[in-house]
């Protein structure tokens, strides 16, 4: 008489349900969908019997469905696990986890915006170092659109907001963004009033608590008061860049107060109403830059002096040992040389260029927190 081991024993649907955490109705559903088919089905009664080794699959299904994995991907994980391709199965699970992380980040950002709307005018207060704020304004100032475009032009977007600087307050930083549609610059200033234990999530900087598009005149005056390098205000008193600036952002307005008395004995306050309109979503441009496996990065020290700024475009090749200005036939990307010159100046003495492809934005990164991206120029 043959010996039946526990491994060969068939289990009832109730036994599998109790051991896996799946209900009997769920097991029937996964059978109908072809995800977890029982080892035996009685032709007369329809009773399902499962092999003991299928408990592992049932537990995997229960776990993966609890975290919302689609059935098609659950089937892939089970098939790979059954073939012993454990790493391939783990990769599918890891990819689903990454989608969950990104979805949670987006949900947090949306909830923060919703809470801001429900606040009906509440403002967010943040403290930053004056010197850091001055450097951030300098890092993005070149990308502000010049002039005063017509608001709400028929058949076109409202470009008025591009003449300002987007100010975003997050849990751990104040972010400044400027763009004229052809280039985009971003700089972050760490908050001096946030303790590390308050940053509960790794993506804390992505949750925007308040945002306003500041008039460029407000940003310029604030930078001058904070001690921006190259300030044209010859009559401005000497200032300590390590002092704190208190920013109040929200409800369509901004106010900045430089803590501690100025030379005149009174702390200076810079206030402004925000620029109306919808600022472009900079994240769709910024986040993908430099993230692909084919991205190329190269140091660009000394490149500014080699740029033909009077030309309509310049072809660049990113090499292992640096960036070269090359003929059109050898170029990896074409950009506006004047725009690139300004971006390099804002990045500082040791800029790095990052390129994902000839039609992707070219990123210009410096030693500080700020960076910019330039839209590639098409070759006629």
Please list, in sequence order, all residues whose beta carbon lies within 8 angstroms of the beta carbon of residue 215, skipping any fewer than 6 positions away.
Answer: 163, 164, 272, 273, 274, 275
The Cα 359–Cα 377 span in angstroms is: 9
The C-alpha torsion from 298 through 302 and 307 to 313, rounded to 10°, is: 10
Q: DSSP label at 251?
A: T
Helix (H), strand (E) at residue 258: strand 253-258
Among 68, 76, 134, smallest CA distance to 107 is for: 68
The structure tokens listed for 271 are 């206030």
Summarised one tens digit per residue, pLDDT across range 320-377 is 788 888 898 888 889 999 999 999 888 888 888 888 777 778 888 887 667 888 888 8
Write the CATH number of the domain with boundaries 10-98.
Answer: 1.10.1660.10
In this predicted model, which residue has the larger pLDDT, 366 or 34?
Answer: 34
| CATH fold for the domain made of 121-280 | DNA Polymerase III; Chain A, domain 2 (3.10.150)
Report the pLDDT value the prediction gives residue 202, as an integer from 0 to 100. 43
The structure tokens listed for 322 are 């640096």
- Ramachandran angles phi, psi of 314, nearest 5°: -135, 140
Look at residue 230 and tell me whether its pLDDT is greater than 80: no
Confidence of residue 159 (pLDDT cuts 50, 70, 90): confident
Please list, in sequence order, all residues whose beta carbon lies within 8 angstroms of the beta carbon of residue 289, skipping any fewer than 6 positions away.
Answer: 354, 356, 360, 361, 363, 373
Look at residue 238 and tell me whether its pLDDT is greater than 90: no
The CA-based angle 90-94-95, given to 5 degrees, is 120
Please list, in sequence order, all residues whose beta carbon lies within 8 angstroms of the beta carbon of residue 109, skipping any fewer than 6 positions away.
Answer: 206, 207, 208
Report the pLDDT value the prediction gives residue 193, as an integer from 0 to 100. 81
Report the pLDDT value the prediction gives residue 3, as an integer from 0 to 100. 41
For 251: left if phi > 0, alpha if psi spans -120 to 50, otherwise beta; the answer is left
Report the pLDDT value the prediction gives residue 346, as an integer from 0 to 100. 87
Report the pLDDT value the prediction gives residue 233, as an integer from 0 to 100. 40
Report the pLDDT value the prediction gives residue 229, as an integer from 0 to 100. 43
The Cα 15–Cα 110 span in angstroms is: 43
The Cα 144–Cα 41 span in angstroms is: 70
| Alpha helices for the chain (secondary structure H) | 13-20, 24-32, 54-66, 71-82, 86-119, 130-141, 216-226, 283-286, 337-347
Confidence of residue 198 (pLDDT cuts 50, 70, 90): very low
3-state secondary structure of 93: helix
Confidence of residue 153 (pLDDT cuts 50, 70, 90): low
Give the CA radius of gyration of the chain: 29
Domain layout of the chain by residue ranges = 10-98, 121-280, 288-374
The structure tokens listed for 199 are 């940053």
Look at residue 234 and tell me whether its pLDDT is greater than 70: no
Percent of the chain whose pLDDT exceeds 90: 39
Confidence of residue 215 (pLDDT cuts 50, 70, 90): very high
- Mean residue pLDDT across the chain: 81
**Least confident among 19-28, 221-230, 368-377:** 221-230
- Ramachandran angles phi, psi of 44, nearest 5°: -85, -50
In this predicted model, which residue has the larger pLDDT, 353 or 241?
Answer: 353
**Least confident among 17-21, 90-94, 268-272:** 268-272
Summarised one tens digit per residue, pLDDT across range 287-298 is 655 555 556 778
Question: What average pLDDT does range 169-197 have in this prediction?
Answer: 85
Q: DSSP label at 77?
A: H
How many helices (H) and strands (E) the chain has is answered by 9, 18
């Amino acid at each position: 008489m043959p010996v039946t081991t526990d491994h060969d024993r068939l289990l009832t649907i109730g036994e599998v349900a109790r051991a896996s955490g799946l209900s009997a109705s769920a097991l029937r559903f996964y059978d109908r969908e072809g995800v977890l088919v029982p080892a035996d089905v009685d032709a007369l009664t329809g009773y399902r019997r499962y092999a003991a080794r299928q408990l592992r699959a049932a537990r995997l299904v229960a776990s993966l469905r609890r975290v919302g994995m689609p059935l098609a991907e659950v089937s892939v994980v089970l098939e790979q696990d059954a073939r012993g391709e454990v790493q391939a199965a783990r990769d599918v699970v890891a990819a689903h986890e990454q989608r969950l992380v990104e979805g949670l980040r987006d949900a947090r950002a949306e909830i923060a915006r919703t809470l801001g709307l429900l606040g009906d005018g509440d403002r967010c207060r943040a403290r930053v170092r004056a010197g850091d704020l001055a450097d951030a304004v300098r890092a993005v100032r070149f990308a502000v659109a010049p002039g005063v475009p017509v608001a709400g032009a028929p058949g076109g977007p409202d470009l008025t907001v591009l003449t300002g600087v987007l100010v975003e307050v997050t849990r751990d930083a104040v972010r400044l963004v400027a763009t004229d549609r052809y280039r985009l610059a971003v700089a972050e200033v760490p908050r001096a009033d946030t303790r590390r234990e308050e940053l509960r999530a790794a993506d804390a900087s992505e949750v925007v608590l308040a945002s306003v598009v500041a008039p460029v005149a407000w940003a310029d005056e604030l930078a001058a008061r904070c001690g921006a390098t190259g300030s044209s205000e010859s009559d401005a008193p000497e200032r300590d860049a390590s002092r704190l600036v208190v920013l109040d952002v929200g409800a369509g307005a901004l106010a900045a107060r430089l803590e501690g008395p100025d030379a005149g004995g009174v702390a200076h306050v810079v206030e402004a109403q925000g620029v109306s309109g919808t600022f472009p979503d900079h994240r769709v441009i910024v986040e993908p830059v430099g993230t692909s496996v084919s991205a190329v990065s190269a140091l660009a020290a000394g490149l500014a002096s080699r740029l033909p700024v009077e030309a309509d475009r310049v072809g660049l090749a990113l090499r292992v040992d640096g960036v070269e200005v090359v003929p059109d036939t050898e170029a990896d990307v074409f950009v506006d040389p004047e725009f690139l010159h300004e971006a390099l100046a804002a990045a500082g003495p040791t800029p790095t260029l990052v390129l994902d492809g000839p039609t992707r934005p070219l990123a210009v990164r410096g030693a500080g927190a700020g960076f910019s991206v330039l839209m590639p120029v098409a070759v006629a």
